[in-house]
Amino acid sequence: MSAQPWYKTALRWGQTNLVECDPKRYDGNFWREHWKKTRVQGVIINAGGIVAYYPSKFPLHHRADMLGERDLYGEIVKEARAAGLAVIARMDSNRVAEDFYAAHPEWVCRDIDGNPYRLADKYVTCIGSDYYREYLPSVMEEIIERSQPDGFSDNSWAGLPRKHICYCDSCKTQFRAYGGGEIPRKHDWEDENYRNWLRWNFTRRTELWKFNNQVTRKAGGENCAWMGMISGEPHHNSQRFIDLQKILAETPIVMLDHQRRNAIDGFEQNTEAGKRLHEMAGWDKLIPESTPQYQLGAPVFRLSSMPPSEVRLWATSGFAGGIQPWWHHIGSSHEDRRQYKTAEPIFQWHEKNQDVLVNRTLTPDVGVVWSQQNQDYFGRDESDEKTLAPFRGIVKALDRHAIPYVPLHPDDIASAFERVKCIILPNIGALSDEQIEHIKSFAAKGGSVIATGETSTATLYGDRRPELALSELFGVRRGQGALGGTGPINPDIETWGRHTYLRLAPENRASAYGPQDATAPKEASKRNPILKGLEGTDTIPFGGYLPLMTVDPSAEVLATYISDFPIFPPETSWMREPKSSTPAITVKTSPAGGKMVWFIADLDRCYGRDANPDHAQIIANAVNLALEGNRKIELSGTYGVITAELYEQDGRKIVHLNNRLLLSNVPGRQYDLIPIGPVEVRLAVAGKPAKAELRVAGKSVTGKQEGGIFSFVVDAILDHEVVVVE
């Protein structure tokens, strides 16, 4: 018997997500063999909720078709126990069928006219009702009594998403008891009662999480934890009122349900999600992630095998972010049997190398600030464009230049200087006074800060401040209005818009305007290093959004805005106003010596959308300037498609190199793996390492040690490489 609880020791998970016809076809021998081959240490087994897989004593607890009196759930639990596996009982509980609704209409969400909320043929239950307070707890107690699972997970536990408002009687009473007024009639971010309703909704989900844990731990013992599934998609949690900071701090393990590919992000997003969630949960917790072995993108094919290369890229991207593997099949029997072959090599590699995949410390070069409050209260209904797109652009730019970053919550900036010397604020408009103080004190210690767009323009709840809260620090002040726009540029060539540019400081001057250095020699080397790599051009494309600002003499302007002019017909395509005094990029040195860079022009959002390499270059240059060349790790030979993550563990360094090359026009879809290399890795080290151990290639390479830098070459990276430097 292990001294540690299951949630500390079960690294690899498997889930055969039962469907209603499985009672007549589940093949226990096959799946036991599959557990063994894939080296899983825990399984997630469908127990109850919308569909029960055991003969529940509750008459309204709908049994799977063809279940009869059979206890399929209980049988699988026994087999898992015999195989020495941890067991999580899976619930899916946010909807009920017609008969249930007829018996308990008061447990179902209501729209403003009092009609029940429906999804397909089911009714959505309200998390404020006794369905969650009494009925589900008694179901969980029944499951515990029958089978003693190690813990519970629930698929869609958080109830009605933000876009809908529930007007049921429980909600009305409970919101009043919370100190709210009437349930808001519409989404109005300016309305204090609506904001109160939002806060109440976050609070009640956190309370529901705690309450469910009280229920399961009371009936099943102190380690019988209840875990709602958590998404790694930044929007998803806000839209379901899941307060990640509070809930992740509470839970002993994070069951990550982050399977679906979107149309914008590639595999790198899984690394980002792992790092971001670990930062809030703690790096000592496990975050297994449900990884579909079937096609889950747009469109979805639940029963068809996902290309193995795609599963490998998603899983290994997760490993780089501290995520553990968990295979997921829909149904227990498949005609597309190719999906049974995919997990085995991934999981076996994981077992062999688990010593370097957990219990380690992330050591990034830069912190990228992100918060749910900024998404919600500053992003509001436009959070996709307003707050998420800038964050995504920064992350993509850093990835392109293989700069390891950590997603950082504003509350954690206070202690960030020990870890990183540079933080980036991608349009973090909503910041509390306390968070502003954290940023100022980070700068006072000598840290560098890169801010973009309208950072610090509002309070935590999105109320406009009279002036940017960080204006002194950066020497930048808010003007009136803005130029350009944030969404995709209109593809209609006749009405194109936003044909705008940035004018860079002349090559023989440090600044775009302002005090001139009359004595400066006229060679092409006077520009700020932020513009490095752009020799040979005075302008770069822009096409983005630029809030108007004024700049104090203490800050230097590195680029100005060139306003829109026609692209069609070609004869009209010339700059009407080639020069302006509208600042686009500024830099100032803080009294403590850090660099304060402001991208007034939204190069972050632009790069995330348009992938213009000049924009990524400038962002990476700003980081390099901030770090004064003291990078913990640098790569060359990456073609911009190999990313680096760096960890420390007992004095050794662990480097993840991930191949981000995309061959399909759907991010997150990949049929083939294309090796990239040779890649040179330069690692800042204190001692004298002799060699680097390549855990994927299965060999060691010798390196060179020179001036505190250990450099070595990795010949090729197919999907990923994990390097251990002792």
Binding residues for Zn ion, rule: CB under 5 A, are 126, 128, 166, 168, 171
Q: Which two tokens stand for residue 323?
A: 């995520």
Q: What share of the chain is helix, strand, coil (3-state, %, to 5)?
A: 35, 25, 45
Measured distance CA(393)–CA(390) in Å, rounded = 5
Q: Examine residue 689 and say whether the peptide bond preceding it is cis (omega within 30 degrees of 0).
A: no
63 three-state secondary structure: strand
Measured distance CA(262)–CA(43) in Å, rounded = 27
Nearest approach in angstroms of CB 125 to Zn ion is: 9
Nearest approach in angstroms of CB 159 to Zn ion is: 8
- Per the CB < 8 A criterion, the answer to whether 717 and 679 are in contact is yes
Measured distance CA(561)–CA(483) in Å, rounded = 9
User: Among residues 171 and 587, whose Cβ is nearest to Zn ion?
Assistant: 171
User: Among residues 171 and 402, whose Cβ is nearest to Zn ion?
Assistant: 171
User: Among residues 166 and 641, whose Cβ is nearest to Zn ion?
Assistant: 166
User: Among residues 207 and 284, whose Cβ is nearest to Zn ion?
Assistant: 207
Which of 725, 720, 673 lies closest to 321 in space, CA to CA?
720
For helices 192-220 and 169-178, the axis angle rounded to 10 degrees is 100
Nearest approach in angstroms of CB 297 to Zn ion is: 33
Q: Which two tokens stand for residue 710?
A: 């250990």
Torsion over CA: 617, 622, 623, 628 (sign): positive
What is the enclosing helix (H) or strand (E) of 15?
strand 13-17
Which of 643, 198, 608 lies closest to 388 in space, CA to CA?
608
Q: Burial code of 18-29, b = ≥16 C-beta within 10 A, e = fewer? A: bbeebbeebeee
Q: Work out the widest C-alpha separation in the chain, in whole angstroms.
A: 92
Measured distance CA(288)–CA(379) in Å, rounded = 30
Nearest approach in angstroms of CB 180 to Zn ion is: 13
Which of 401, 317, 396 lies closest to 623 in space, CA to CA?
401
- Per the CB < 8 A criterion, the answer to whether 375 and 235 are in contact is yes
Nearest approach in angstroms of CB 101 to Zn ion is: 14
Q: Where are the beta strands (DSSP E) in 454-594?
A: 476-484, 501-504, 539-541, 545-551, 556-562, 583-589
Nearest approach in angstroms of CB 170 to Zn ion is: 5
Contacts of 42 (CB under 8 A, 6+ apart): 6, 10, 12, 13, 14, 85, 86, 87, 88, 150, 288
383 three-state secondary structure: helix
Nearest approach in angstroms of CB 562 to Zn ion is: 53
What is the enclosing helix (H) or strand (E) of 358?
none
User: Among residues 240 and 499, whose Cβ is nearest to Zn ion?
Assistant: 240
Nearest approach in angstroms of CB 155 to Zn ion is: 20
Which of 678, 40, 112, 558 lies closest to 324 in space, CA to CA?
40
Q: What is the layout of strands, in order, in the sheet containing 151-154?
A: 225-228, 151-154, 86-92, 42-49, 13-17, 324-330, 288-292
User: Among residues 128 and 393, whose Cβ is nearest to Zn ion?
Assistant: 128
User: Among residues 174 and 457, whose Cβ is nearest to Zn ion?
Assistant: 174
User: Among residues 166 and 253, whose Cβ is nearest to Zn ion?
Assistant: 166
Which of 340, 255, 322 lies closest to 43 in space, CA to CA?
255
Nearest approach in angstroms of CB 168 to Zn ion is: 3
